[in-house]
Amino acid sequence: MDFGNKNPDEIIHEFQKKMAKKAPSPVLIIGLIVLFILLKGLFYTVQKDEVGMVLRFGKSVRTASPGLHFKIPLGIEKVFPVKVTHIYKEEFGFRTRSAGVKTIYNRKAYDEESLMLTGDLNVMDIEWTVQFQINDPFNALFKIRNLVKTLRDVSESVMRKVIGDYTFDEVLTKRIEINDLVQLKMQETLKSYETGIKIVTVKLQDVNPPDPVKPAFNEVNEAKQEREKMINQAWEVYNQKIPQARGEAQKIIKEAEGYALERVNKALGDANRFDLLRSEYALAKEITLQRLYLENMSDVLKRAGKKYITDPDEKGILPLLRLDGDLTK
Does residue 317 form part of some domain? no
**Cα–Cα distance measured from residue 104 to residue 115, given in angstroms and rounded to the nearest whole number:** 22
Tally helices (H) and strands (E) across the chain: 9, 11
pLDDT for res 179: 95
Do both 66 and 162 map to the same domain? no
pLDDT for res 210: 78
Cβ–Cβ under 8 Å, residues 63 and 41? no
Do both 102 and 69 map to the same domain? no
Does residue 289 form part of some domain? yes
pLDDT for res 132: 96
Does residue 313 form part of some domain? no
Do both 52 and 104 map to the same domain? no
Cα–Cα nearest to 154, from 194, 96, 121, 120: 194
Does residue 322 form part of some domain? no
pLDDT for res 111: 78
Single pTM value for the model: 0.56
**Cα–Cα distance measured from residue 111 to residue 129, given in angstroms and rounded to the nearest whole number:** 16
Do both 110 and 202 map to the same domain? yes
Do both 68 and 129 map to the same domain? no
Tens of pLDDT along the chain (329 residues) come to 544 555 556 656 665 666 555 555 666 667 666 666 666 667 788 888 888 888 888 888 888 888 888 887 777 888 888 898 899 999 998 888 766 556 666 666 677 888 999 998 888 899 999 999 999 999 998 888 899 999 999 999 999 999 999 998 899 889 999 999 999 999 999 999 999 999 999 999 888 887 777 787 778 778 888 999 999 999 998 898 888 988 999 999 999 999 999 999 988 988 888 888 778 777 777 877 787 788 888 877 777 767 666 667 766 555 555 555 554 54
CATH number of the domain that residue 184 is part of: 3.30.479.30
Does residue 325 form part of some domain? no
Cβ–Cβ under 8 Å, residues 199 and 187? yes
Do both 97 and 200 map to the same domain? yes
Do both 53 and 99 map to the same domain? no
Do both 42 and 59 map to the same domain? yes
Do both 147 and 240 map to the same domain? no
Do both 200 and 124 map to the same domain? yes
**Cα–Cα distance measured from residue 255 to residue 249, given in angstroms and rounded to the nearest whole number:** 10
Q: Which of 83, 108, 127 is the last residue in one of the domains?
A: 83
pLDDT for res 326: 55
Cβ–Cβ under 8 Å, residues 144 and 150? yes
Does residue 213 form part of some domain? no
pLDDT for res 317: 53
Cβ–Cβ under 8 Å, residues 53 and 82? yes
Q: Which of 208, 242, 268 is the last residue in one of the domains?
A: 208
Does residue 197 form part of some domain? yes
Do both 189 and 261 map to the same domain? no
Q: Which of 49, 83, 117 is the last residue in one of the domains?
A: 83
**Cα–Cα distance measured from residue 183 to residue 202, given in angstroms and rounded to the nearest whole number:** 6
**CA 79 and chain centroid, separation:** 46
Does residue 142 form part of some domain? yes
Cα–Cα nearest to 111, from 98, 91, 127, 100: 127
Domain with 57 in it = 13-83
Do both 33 and 104 map to the same domain? no
How many distinct structural domains can be found in the chain? 3
**Cα–Cα distance measured from residue 109 to residue 286, given in angstroms and rounded to the nearest whole number:** 117
